[in-house]
Amino acid sequence: MATDGADSALTGPVLGIESSCDETAAAVLAPDGTILAETVLSQVADHAPYGGVVPEIAARAHLAHLPALVADTLARAGLGYDGLGAVAASAGPGLIGGLIVGSQFAKGVALARGIPYVAVNHLEAHALTARLPGLAGNGSLEFPYLLLLVSGGHCQCVAVLGVGRHQRLGGTVDDAAGEAFDKVAKLLGLGWPGGPALERLAAGGDASAFAFPRPMLGRAGCDFSFSGLKTSVAQEVARHGAGALPMGLAANIAASFQRAVAEVLADRAGNAMDLFAERHGGSALVVAGGVAANAAVRAALEAAAGARGFRLIAPPLRLCTDNAVMVAWTAIERLRLGWADPLDTAPRPRWPLDSADMRPASA
């Protein structure tokens, strides 16, 4: 998809737009990665009555809110459209309606101002977030490193070898971890989105109360599975009959489920670290995605990384979930290499990180 033709020396700040699912977001970054302004508008209230994201509602919300949101973000950055050096948008993977809204808006800005447009892979944006200046502690995060992406739609281990160079080591064979959190939260009557509510409930529970299964724990490889764990929780909830569960019981179920997920993630990520070190010699594990905000998951990954001599790098919570800072930063990374995209680049609902077109043919 990417083509040579962008000036590697950015001439001004970059506007990033994120609309791949149920957050409408915009951010403006200086060419050195300094965040000048960022905005995220959640659609939780729009989708909560339906217990999950409704694609048509999401697309209409992006369309309704994006122009004013971008204008406000630019104003807080002290800029107008004429002060931008480039514009970028998430172009996949995601819900196609939202991707169309965001990418078409960005293309319009690029066309009107005569500036480069970058079609950003949403997964690569998560992968590169930890390279933002200052996020990795002293100095910058150098390639290669290992990414564990855990969210409502994705659960995979990826070797990040460079911009546009990614090797998938393993992924979920059924549900994503975040999807399992949401489904179990619904079983416990916590509503949607369920992850944060389930974590709060689990804080008052006994994580050893129920011996829920740990799918694939101890097996070779880096793949994940959460369907059987989710089913086991559903069976336990059903065993107690109809109606709301007593608070103590619900808390114990939540805590036991959360521990099972954390242990599975740590085990599978451990295998990925071993494989990554053998193949590439790196020693940094980056965790990103909404589930990365869960404290129990972070603690389990920290322990697994430390046992292998890896450094765990977790972006701030606001940058773990979908945001536009990561979109603008990914555009900066690509523009520094002289990569931009033509305005006829089509958004796509599926776009794996190891696709052949993540780099221009000449790179």
Tokens for 82? 């004429």
CATH number for the domain harbouring residue 352: 3.30.420.40
Model-level pTM? 0.93
Residues 72 and 126 placed together within one structural domain of the fold: yes
What single letter denotes the amino acid at residue 309?
Answer: G
**If residue 23 lies in a helix (H) or strand (E), which one and from where to where?**
strand 23-29
Residue 207 domain-assigned?
Answer: yes
The string of pLDDT tens digits covering residues 31-90 is 999 999 999 999 988 988 888 899 999 999 999 999 999 999 999 999 999 999 999 999
Residues 302 and 351 placed together within one structural domain of the fold: no
Per-10-residue mean pLDDT, the chain, length 363: 55 96 96 97 88 92 97 98 98 97 98 98 95 78 96 92 97 94 94 90 98 96 96 96 90 98 98 97 92 93 98 91 96 97 96 90 73
- 266 and 331, same structural domain? no
Q: Is residue 140 part of a domain?
A: no
What number of other Cβ atoms are within 10 A of residue 350's Cβ? 9
Enclosing domain of residue 335? 3-131+319-358
List residues bridging with 90 in a β-sheet.
Answer: 120
Q: Are residues 38 and 66 in the same domain?
A: yes
Residues 190 and 307 grouped into a single domain: yes
Residue 363 has a pLDDT of 73
* Residues 31, 115 within the same domain: yes
- Please check whether residue 334 lies inside any domain of the structure: yes
- Are 122 and 9 members of one domain? yes
State how many domains the chain has: 2
Place of tokens 């281990």: 157
Distance, CA of 83 to CA of 78 (rounded, Å): 9
DSSP-assigned beta bridge partners for residue 87:
15, 117
Whether 137 is covered by a domain: the verdict is no
The pLDDT, as a whole number, for residue 153 is 84
Q: What is the pLDDT of residue 143?
A: 96
